[in-house]
Structure 1
């Protein structure tokens, strides 16, 4: 990936003061709306399909296959961004999402055709990772190291602010008014609006061009994005940690709607509102953990706030509401704490580019592969182990995985060579800042 100082100079803009790279501001806003649309169905697609006669096992399989395509697409976002530029990759992702959402709803859900649903939903899975992780590569390429933690925090703030936080909240109010099918269709409008907002209003030049030299063979780019997993073993560890991070979230979208509506005693609207509270906490802590990691260390936040915290809160999200059936406030408090622990993994997106500062896109591809894998690993664990000890067994599997993620995170140190490269980049950044200031003073003197 080409190195650049385009965004290295300090800015007095409101966005930069918040930690958002100013030239990418509309990209973050568009990402939020895109993910709201993507998250509309998150809390009620599973119960809706089951109400139409689709078995819970077939529903879990649908989510699993969808997760596999998401994983592939998340990995592809890195090398394709290197090859074509992040902005073009985002356009492709938006187009794929829109086309296959129409097929999924019109020819699958509307006529209750499971084979069409399975095929269209799987293909739609290629869409959102190309858009979102393409933008994450753009952020890594155009943001100086001093701001990467905060920028990553804002990325995940917008990402999870939509999926499923505001998306589920939107659905909870839309379903009683518009109905379930019309709410599904409304997601298409939100995704297209957000995608166009990001792509038409963001004019930062780095993302519009390939991120590697034009003479670099495509096979070299793709191989590097895969081979980095064994050339830089820490990226493989980071990928596993990222997979564990949100795997429970996607499992919960399959198993928790029935638990909270049939066992705890909540209505569907209450469940959707609870889901929104869980991830409202998540998006707020996304931002806080990203900023905190720039001060107290990325590994500390991820290992203890994320790994150990989630190991405790995953079983708590089941047992505590079970002890207080029908008590929405208790469930909301525990759910908010669970959402906060998932957010503590955010600094991985700022740490990995520092572990491999010369191959940021390839390193982020590994992280994207892990993020994508979580969308099928979670439902797959449900499919494989639900008959073992039911929901309780699944929860304790996830709790153990989170403890493992904490241990693995402690191995994600920055090598001396990477540290020297980062120091060199920081010196170049400071030199560029001094040059800009000198130029401004010279202009002032001449005036």
Structure 2
């Protein structure tokens, strides 16, 4: 981090860990994510209604997840070389290049190859936009508030993707239909770009003098020569596997015990609200006791216990919304404890933060792929219960794997 790029945080802004100079950027991320992911909670159901089978939908999700992972990795290095603002504007353009054929040709005509290609292109826009802004946060924030600052990023990200987007869709689709809802996403994306790149006058660091291909090569070499970076990517990948697998498993599992899909969606939305407060709390705790300790003690342990609780709460308590909410609430709290990873991982490689952030973003992107893949591989031979046990074991392993992730100044 160069000296000129650090904003000195004072007063109330320092206490809450929100960099005032980037406030419009956080609002922009929230709006952009809302528009760019507005369909994620209902697209699979729509495709199923239009005659696509589970294999088609799974393949489309897999291609989407792989593209998200690759672009997430690229954003950390690309933002440093090409420029953060330039990359965020490019993300906005890519969103529209993918969305127009997806909405106006692929979906209406059921053209599956075009659907896969255009949806993947549309999908890479949100990690390119959001994770470029995450680089900006790491450039600009003092270490003493960085844990809270990145928690604000994940709050903006999560509120857009898991709360506002599905709730807004649930309100709009019965009234205006899926196509209109997708088109309203354009408004959110344009508003998000305007807030983050026009109203937000803060200037990120100037791009480096290096070329993009050597920089990408260096990013790969970091993974090859730094064991901590490989561990960090693995822990970050495990971070969100539950979020991307539970939305597949629970609509299949819970009806056995008398839960309706609407009850599941309502509870899932409520616990994601709880995750907002947990994310900020653990950001503060990470700044207080240490980012690594927070991840080790609370993240995987709580998420692993919650995965088992989600499995057995319906078995023990039947159609009890309270029991199911309590189990999922533990998961939402544990998920918030992974937040300090976004401050910890760049600090592991202070001499090459761009490559370290790319590793962080790669793990974030791989969760999109790994969560559904676990379900695909495990649900037939092991059932839903066995799959939840696999997820629980992976979460417990994440806490153990985080133990060696000590920053250079930590003994």
How much has 1:272 moved relative to structure 2?
Answer: 2.9
How much has 1:266 moved relative to structure 2?
Answer: 4.3
* Equivalent residue in structure 1 for 2:246, among 230, 244, 252: 252
Partner of 1:388: 381
Question: Is 1:186 paired with 2:184?
Answer: yes
Name stretches of at least 5 consecutive residues in structure 2 with no aligned partner: none
- Residues 6 and 139 in structure 2, CA contact (< 8 A), matched pair in contact too: no
How much has 1:195 moved relative to structure 2?
Answer: 2.2
SS at match of 2:394: helix
How far, CA to CA, are the matches of 1:381 and 1:44 in structure 2?
20
Name stretches of at least 5 consecutive residues in structure 1 with no aligned partner: 421-447
Partner of 1:145: 143
Question: Which segment drifts farther, 114-123 or 26-35?
Answer: 114-123
Question: Is 1:284 paired with 2:283?
Answer: no
Partner of 2:328: 335
- Residues 148 and 284 in structure 2, CA contact (< 8 A), matched pair in contact too: yes
1:271–1:137: structure 2 CA closer, same or farther, 3 Å change rule?
Answer: same
TM-score (norm 2): 0.94
How far, CA to CA, are the matches of 2:318 and 2:55 in structure 1?
26
* Equivalent residue in structure 1 for 2:89, among 85, 88, 91: 91
Bigger Rg, which one: 1
How far, CA to CA, are the matches of 2:77 and 2:250 in structure 1?
36
Partner of 1:221: 215
Partner of 1:114: 112
How far, CA to CA, are the matches of 2:55 and 2:318 in structure 1?
26
* Matched residue count: 411
Q: Deviations over 1:198-226 (max 9, x none)?
A: 1111121225x31x2x2x23333112222
* Equivalent residue in structure 2 for 1:177, among 156, 175, 178: 175
SS at match of 2:3: coil
Q: How does 1:22-37 map to 2 (within 5 A)?
A: 22-37=20-35
SS at match of 2:312: helix
- Residues 36 and 123 in structure 2, CA contact (< 8 A), matched pair in contact too: no
Question: Is 1:307 paired with 2:305?
Answer: no
How much has 1:372 moved relative to structure 2?
Answer: 0.4
- Residues 14 and 145 in structure 2, CA contact (< 8 A), matched pair in contact too: no
How far, CA to CA, are the matches of 2:37 and 2:13 in structure 1?
25
Q: How does 1:262-273 map to 2 (within 5 A)?
A: 262-273=255-266
How much has 1:348 moved relative to structure 2?
Answer: 0.6
Q: How does 1:230-249 map to 2 (within 5 A)?
A: 230-249=224-243
RMSD: 2.1
* Equivalent residue in structure 2 for 1:203, among 201, 222, 241: 201
1:359–1:407: structure 2 CA closer, same or farther, 3 Å change rule?
Answer: same
Partner of 1:102: 100
Q: How does 1:41-60 map to 2 (within 5 A)?
A: 41-60=39-58
1:308–1:396: structure 2 CA closer, same or farther, 3 Å change rule?
Answer: same
How much has 1:160 moved relative to structure 2?
Answer: 0.9
Partner of 2:352: 359
TM-score (norm 1): 0.86
- Residues 47 and 258 in structure 1, CA contact (< 8 A), matched pair in contact too: no
Partner of 1:64: 62
* Equivalent residue in structure 2 for 1:40, among 23, 35, 38: 38
SS at match of 2:116: helix
SS at match of 1:110: helix
SS at match of 1:206: coil
How far, CA to CA, are the matches of 1:108 and 1:99 in structure 2?
13
SS at match of 1:358: helix
How much has 1:175 moved relative to structure 2?
Answer: 2.7
Partner of 1:347: 340
How much has 1:89 moved relative to structure 2?
Answer: 0.9
Q: Deviations over 1:388-428 (max 9, x none)?
A: 12222221111111111111000101224xx69xxxxxxxx
Question: Which segment drifts farther, 364-373 or 326-335?
Answer: 326-335
SS at match of 1:339: helix
How far, CA to CA, are the matches of 1:247 and 1:29 in structure 2?
26
- Residues 97 and 121 in structure 2, CA contact (< 8 A), matched pair in contact too: no
How far, CA to CA, are the matches of 1:233 and 1:43 in structure 2?
36
1:110–1:252: structure 2 CA closer, same or farther, 3 Å change rule?
Answer: farther
Question: Which segment drifts farther, 51-60 or 175-184?
Answer: 175-184
